[in-house]
């Protein structure tokens, strides 16, 4: 604990902020539909420097939100979703950088989504919410970055769907960032990824309590369907190896088979627990919209060439990370991306990290990630001539000696 | 077409047969529960030779049945599930061998299962049906083999759950068979396999029409949940590569994204079609029971040593087959099995076949499988001094010259 009572390295107590735009002129979406007003929830950690050059945008995955680090109250049991990587002296060092994380459009953590009130009707949008894309999510983030008065982000970083947003930023808004860190992600959702998304959606549709999305009033919610969707997801976030290590064939609270259909194996209990828990924090319609956005994501379009997507983005610095046991976003996705970036002559550092944690590795391989991210960020901050806060010199020295 | 009007190489019209046992004394199950009477549906193809030494038992997978080859009527559009491998001149050559396939206990294709009438109540068993194991399934098969007057099968063969039955036969009833052909299978369901099973079961439980299994009267059936379970299954039967080849990111009947939640991608349509189709042919409770039996399967118990399971089975001949792109029953499962068999000094032929079809390869790689199976069966028939029907010589010659 430091002097403020926060755990060492924590950003401490933080508060969500909200920026609303498209109050008068609606926000045009890729689909051709429009939406307004649009609110984006975001959090910031650390301080913006004088020339606003030390800002890093963190993009979250499917079920994440703007709350990436610190605690909302002293009673909070869980910190933000990437707290191990964001904070004083951590990978995204808040002593040096101004870190922003915003909730994606279509989600249910403060940004406008299907559970938000449709001003035209006074009721939640439900399925009247327009289908949004990763491109739409990023353009909503740009509104927040504009609002914060930041012309150019030092870096945009994120894993999984967060990585798709990183690539969208890099491909389409290269003037707005200096470096991109796509982790455990893809430039094009594969048919297997679409298949898993669709099964999750079908589990929600199959729940009669879903009521074609109109479940916000009336007390019945599609929790059963959403839980099944989440269980499918959790299988894909693990690896066979991590399942063997964590669960094996261990029984839960039993010496031998019970010969009935209650939860018996530890792995069953893990899935059921996480499926149920998810229904208390996530909105089923948001699950539909956010997975659909991921499925639509394909940077190789419209030309069919992934390299073509990056022809105007050759001056960015890229750190691409994949994990050997990630079978949901297997390393070959990252390798294809790296090939495309090399083809246009971009400056790319690529690491396929040895890990047994499957897709979850981007949240779990903290130590390896920290070393990598710190040294990459250090380099780009130097190259971009970012004026770091005065207090930082000693921190940097401490960290660098720590690596020796 | 041959003279009878059947397609060349087909066993032609076949009929299910039924054997009922445990009419007086109930059948004791591994769980300690008992069941009676028990009916097993089976089909046979080809002719049993005079000394009853040319019989081959084929074991089916999760959703299969006794109808492995031929047609039930002239109007049938689909032949039996392994018709490409069973018939005159095919891998399991019905000119040479007497081929038997029986439906597993707990299934819904004629053998006693949860949808069968419980004689104690006059209503379907539903969840009053006792949980059965792969061991129970095999002991029910033995009753049929006894009934057919066969002391020793030339071979037991099967893929996926069929392969588990093969291994159960080999490990526990070595005197009753000469050779074993486990294909794309495992001696121990892994936590990932259990996880996928459990998600399928949870999808069924989540369907209010399941009604804790009591859906046989009243008109509401858990089709939605069963369809989701099947969709999850279908993803696991494919490989990433086969999904790319078959579907890629192709849209179905659309030039561009529809920006709505209807089925848009070909892969979505494939899953939905197969999920829906499955509900017209399979019983949701049987899905629960059969997947549970697979999850319980673990030949390494009770000692923890897989080799120990085969110490009394060293005289059998084994042909073990896996497929490189099968990520549901990955090759390492077969390799572990082979290591255990080698450890006890068994005669094992092992092939890890190159295939892009994932787990489905055991149904699709017909040509490669046919070559392998024919030559292995030819060898064991010779070694076991099986008297083949007189008509066979010419067939063998034709086939062998075809391979040259």
Residue B194 has pLDDT above 60, yes or no: yes
d(CA A378, CA A382): 6
Nearest to B11 by CA among B75, B101, B94: B94
- The 3-state DSSP class for residue B344 equals coil
d(CA B35, CA B29): 7
| DSSP-assigned states of every residue in A47-86 | ---TTS--EEEEE--TT--S--SSBSSTT-SS--TTTTTE
Residue B390 has pLDDT above 80, yes or no: no
d(CA B284, CA B224): 10
For the stretch A52-68, what's the b/e string if a residue is b when 16 or more beta carbons lie within 10 angstroms of its beta carbon?
ebbbbbbbbbbbbbbbb
Q: Which residues of A touch B299 (CB under 8 A)?
A: none
Residue A3 Cα, gap to closest chain B Cα (Å)? 45
A196 in B contact zone (CB under 8 Å): yes
Q: Please tell me the predicted confidence (pLDDT) of residue B255.
A: 87
**Cα–Cα–Cα angle for A54, A57, A61, rounded to 5 degrees:** 160
Residue A111 burial (10 A CB sphere; 0-12, 13-18, 19+): buried
Question: pLDDT, tens digit, for every residue of B9-36?
Answer: 899 999 999 999 999 999 999 999 999 9
d(CA B68, CA B377): 18
Q: A253 CB contacts (<8 Å, ≥6 apart)?
A: none
**Residues in chain A where the model's pLDDT stays below 50:** 1-7, 393-404
By C-alpha distance, the chain A residue nearest B192 is A240
Residue B82 has pLDDT above 70, yes or no: yes
**Catalytic residue check, A209:** no
Find the largest Cα–Cα distance for chain B: 67
Residue B342 Cα, gap to closest chain A Cα (Å)? 24
B312 touches B161 (CB < 8 A): no
Can you say how many angstroms the Cα of residue A40 is from the centroid of all Cα atoms in its chain? 15
- The reply to whether residue B227 touches residue A298, judged by beta carbons under 8 angstroms, is no
Q: Please tell me the predicted confidence (pLDDT) of residue A367.
A: 93
| Lookup: tokens for A115 | 């559970």
Question: pLDDT, tens digit, for every residue of B101-158?
Answer: 999 999 999 999 999 999 999 999 999 999 999 999 999 999 999 999 999 999 999 9
B25 in A contact zone (CB under 8 Å): no
d(CA B127, CA B27): 18
Query: Which residues, listed in sequence order, are joined to residue A43 by a DSSP beta bridge?
Result: A101
d(CA A268, CA B192): 10
**Cα–Cα–Cα angle for A193, A199, A204, rounded to 5 degrees:** 130
Tally of helices (H runs) and strands (E runs) in chain A: 12, 14
Q: Which of A326, A334, A355, A356 is catalytic?
A: A326
Averaged pLDDT for residues B69-77:
95
By C-alpha distance, the chain A residue nearest B198 is A268
d(CA B74, CA B268): 33
Give me the percent of chain A exceeding a pLDDT of 70: 94
A159 in B contact zone (CB under 8 Å): no
B136 in A contact zone (CB under 8 Å): no
Residue B4 has pLDDT above 50, yes or no: no
Question: pLDDT, tens digit, for every residue of B248-306?
Answer: 999 998 889 999 998 899 999 999 999 999 999 999 999 999 999 999 999 999 999 99
Q: Which residues of A touch B227 (CB under 8 A)?
A: 202, 206
Q: Please tell me the predicted confidence (pLDDT) of residue B392.
A: 53
Residue B3 has pLDDT above 60, yes or no: no
Q: Which residues of A touch B358 (CB under 8 A)?
A: none
| Lookup: tokens for B152 | 């020793």
By C-alpha distance, the chain B residue nearest A236 is B192
Give me the percent of chain B exceeding a pLDDT of 70: 94
Q: A231 CB contacts (<8 Å, ≥6 apart)?
A: A271, A272, A274, A275, B198, B199, B202
Residue A380 Cα, gap to closest chain B Cα (Å)? 36
A288 in B contact zone (CB under 8 Å): yes
Q: Please tell me the predicted confidence (pLDDT) of residue B23.
A: 96
B251 in A contact zone (CB under 8 Å): no
Q: Which of B206, B244, B330 sits opposite A191 (nearest CB)?
A: B244
Interface A–B counts its CB contacts (< 8 A) at: 154
Averaged pLDDT for residues B375-398:
75
| CATH numbers and ranges of domains, chain B | 17-188+297-403 (3.40.50.1820)
Tally of helices (H runs) and strands (E runs) in chain B: 11, 14
Residue B277 Cα, gap to closest chain A Cα (Å)? 15
A189 in B contact zone (CB under 8 Å): yes
Q: Which of B31, B206, B257 sits opposite A224 (nearest CB)?
A: B206
Model pTM above 0.90: yes
Kind plus residue range of the DSSP H or E element containing B86: strand B86-87
Residue B1 has pLDDT above 50, yes or no: no
By C-alpha distance, the chain B residue nearest A245 is B191
| Lookup: tokens for B223 | 């089709």
Nearest to A9 by CA among A92, A117, A102: A92
- The 3-state DSSP class for residue A277 equals helix
Averaged pLDDT for residues B182-198:
97
Q: Please tell me the predicted confidence (pLDDT) of residue A255.
A: 87
d(CA B143, CA A169): 66
**Catalytic residue check, A160:** yes
A216 in B contact zone (CB under 8 Å): no
Averaged pLDDT for residues B41-59:
97
By C-alpha distance, the chain A residue nearest B244 is A191
Nearest to A236 by CA among A203, A274, A193: A193
Kind plus residue range of the DSSP H or E element containing B287: helix B284-296
- The reply to whether residue A32 touches residue B259, judged by beta carbons under 8 angstroms, is yes
Q: What is the sign of the dihedral through the CA atoms of B370, B371, B373 and B378? A: positive
ipTM for this prediction:
0.93
d(CA A306, CA A309): 5
Q: What is the sign of the dihedral through the CA atoms of A255, A259, A265 and A270? A: negative
d(CA A335, CA A316): 18
Count CB-CB contacts under 10 A for residue B221: 17
Q: Please tell me the predicted confidence (pLDDT) of residue A4.
A: 46
- The reply to whether residue A231 touches residue B190, judged by beta carbons under 8 angstroms, is no
């Amino acid at each position: 604990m430091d002097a403020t009572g926060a755990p060492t390295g924590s950003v401490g107590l933080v508060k969500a902020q909200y920026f609303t735009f498209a109050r008068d002129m609606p926000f045009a979406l890729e689909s051709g539909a429009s939406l307004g007003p649009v609110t984006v929830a975001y959090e910031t950690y650390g301080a913006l420097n004088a020339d606003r050059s030390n800002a890093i945008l963190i993009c979250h995955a499917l079920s994440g939100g703007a709350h990436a680090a610190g605690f909302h109250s002293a009673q909070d049991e869980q910190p933000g979703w990437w707290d191990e990587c964001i904070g004083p002296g951590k990978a995204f060092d808040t002593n040096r950088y101004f870190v922003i994380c915003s909730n994606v459009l279509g989600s249910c953590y403060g940004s406008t989504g299907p559970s938000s009130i449709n001003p035209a009707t006074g009721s939640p949008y439900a399925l009247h919410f327009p289908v949004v894309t990763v491109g739409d999510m990023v353009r909503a983030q740009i509104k927040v970055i504009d609002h914060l008065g930041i012309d150019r982000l030092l870096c945009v970083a994120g894993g999984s769907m967060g990585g798709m947003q990183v690539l969208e930023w890099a491909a389409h808004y290269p003037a707005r960032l200096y470096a991109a860190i796509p982790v455990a992600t893809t430039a094009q959702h594969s048919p297997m990824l679409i298949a898993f998304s669709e099964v999750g959606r079908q589990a929600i549709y199959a729940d009669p309590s879903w009521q074609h999305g109109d479940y916000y009033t009336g007390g019945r919610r599609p929790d059963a369907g959403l839980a099944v969707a989440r269980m499918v997801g959790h299988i894909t976030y693990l690896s066979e190896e991590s399942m063997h290590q964590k669960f094996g064939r261990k029984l839960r609270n039993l010496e031998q088979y019970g010969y009935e259909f209650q939860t018996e194996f530890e792995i069953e209990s893990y899935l059921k627990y996480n499926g149920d828990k998810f229904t208390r924090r996530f909105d089923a319609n948001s699950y539909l919209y956010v997975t659909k956005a991921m499925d639509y994501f394909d940077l190789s379009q419209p030309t069919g060439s992934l390299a073509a997507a990056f022809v105007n983005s050759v001056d960015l610095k890229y750190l691409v990370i994949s994990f050997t046991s990630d079978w949901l976003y297997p390393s070959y996705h990252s390798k294809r991306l790296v090939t495309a970036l090399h083809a246009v002559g971009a400056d790319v550092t690529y690491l396929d990290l040895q890990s047994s944690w499957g897709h979850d590795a981007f949240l779990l391989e903290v130590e390896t990630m920290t070393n990598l991210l710190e040294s990459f960020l250090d380099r780009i901050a130097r190259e971009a001539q970012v004026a770091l806060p005065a207090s930082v010199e000693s921190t940097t020295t401490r960290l660098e000696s720590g690596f020796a």
